[in-house]
Amino acid sequence: MKYNVIKRFQDKITKAIFPVNSTYQTDDEERAQFLQDNGFLHVEKQEDHTHDGEGSILDKSVEEIKKNVTAELGKDKLEVLLELEKEAKNRKGVVEHIEELLQEVE
């Protein structure tokens, strides 16, 4: 199942860092319950969607991100993507692209 992250954490099993507003996916209900009880995950489960979330967009290559991330996403979504990118991979090309789009939107 997929869960929305509401507090940044590093998974003790995979060592992956999950920033706020990213998606945590696990089949281990006990682990998910522990993370919910400790305030890291939103209590409601997310449905598996065919449309990828923000984290999935940023998992692609820089060129694919530049093609798919446009000003049409809106200021709020672009700001979330920028924050997620800076906390995760922090790729210069992606950060600059999103910052340019934010200037266009304003």
- Domain count for the chain: 2
Residues 59 and 98 in one domain: yes
Which structural domain, as residue segments, surrounds residue 72?
Answer: 54-105
Statement: residue 94 has pLDDT above 70 = yes
Q: What is the CA radius of gyration of the chain?
A: 15
72 vs 43, more confident: 72
pLDDT > 60? residue 79: yes
- Region 34-58: mean pLDDT is 68
Burial class (CB in 10 A: 0-12, 13-18, 19+), 14: exposed
CB 40 within 8 A of CB 7: yes
Check whether residue 28 and residue 58 sit in a common domain.
no
Largest CA distance in the chain: 45
What average pLDDT does the segment 59-70 reach? 89
20 and 61 share one domain: no
Residue 8 has pLDDT above 70, yes or no: yes
Q: Would you say residue 61 has pLDDT above 50?
A: yes
Average pLDDT over residues 18-35: 90
Residue 65: how many other CB atoms lie within 10 Å: 19
Section 77-86 average pLDDT: 89
What's residue 53's pLDDT?
55
